[in-house]
Structure 1
Amino acid sequence: MIGRITGTLAEKSPPQLLIDVNGVGYEVDVPMSSFYNLPALGERVTLLTHFVVREDAQVLFGFLTHDERATFRLLVKISGVGPRTALSILSGLSVNDLAQAVSLQESARLVKVPGIGKKTAERLLLELKGKLGDAIAAPTSIAGNAQGDIQQALLALGYSDREATAALKALPADVGVSDGIKLALRALAK
């Protein structure tokens, strides 16, 4: 029903915005990825929207990119994932990070998102498999698979996504899994 909204950004209170459109204030919930990229208060903003109507509420969700809105719409179609959970997922992971987690079947990355348990993470991986593949290509080379295994090992050891990715960038492209883990751990220990 409401596909896009353009107006003046009147208030910002995470995750909710108030957008003044010719004297009418629209409350819009946005993921944190969109929230951090918003202009300053008083400036014009355009958001792509998704309108949810329930018995007890009508809620407008906003997104700065087409990819975020499309991913949100994919997420809410999954059993057990409502709009708030989908918003939480997009606040915790970028669309590319989510696509990578799905392509590599990394439930550990999804479980780190508040409100996502192990069962929900596994359901998300199953339901989204093949649907987010266009966002990034799954690793197909031996080196790519080794990189994925190394990253998975670092995440399992408790390192953050950012730390694991930084350690992977420092590794030679043709490194094996066991040597790669050792080198990555040495780099992270510094």
Structure 2
Amino acid sequence: MNSKFKFQNGTLEDVKIITPFYAEDSRGYFLKSIEKNIFQDFGISVDIYEDFESYSFKNVIRGLHFQTKNPQIKIVRAIKGRIMDVVVDLRKKSNTFGQSMQIELSDINHLSILVPAGFAHGFRVLSEDALVSYKCIGKYLPDYDTGIIWNDRELNIKWEIDHPVVSKRDSEHMTFLEFKNTYGGL
């Protein structure tokens, strides 16, 4: 297989860091973020159900979001700007249950992160603004969409920010302990 895509394992089970096909010349650049056959060769089924973007300003934290029924797989990348992307393993049978991982995604490094089903996802905007792309595998079920509070003490995620901008919804999410007591895990 002759591909310029690269797939690396993240520090948590089943998380993948994806380097896309990227070519640049005097005209600009060309970036291919997904090619179904190549992803399948790496054991990743790509059946995109949703494709959306979020635009956020510096110091915004979004997350930590997940779906309790039929969790989605997400492929996330920063189209513009820089973000610190965070994933938390919520799979009760996983060796990395309750652990988190951070990676910088930017319009400079062009990396994507594959967030497996059963993970919470969030990010912090590091640049003045950021445009973030999400490609979701699996149907969005609004009745099962929830989250864990971004500054949960048990998870102890190092956001490295004193005064984040957080939505009312995200500031009212459950704690990780409440998640474990309610769901046990995903």
Q: Which has the higher helix share?
A: 1
Q: Which has the higher strand share?
A: 2
Confirm or deny a common fold (TM above 0.5). no
Query: Is the radius of gyration larger for structure 1 or structure 2?
Result: 1
Higher-RCO chain (CA-CA 8 Å, sequence separation at least 6)? 2
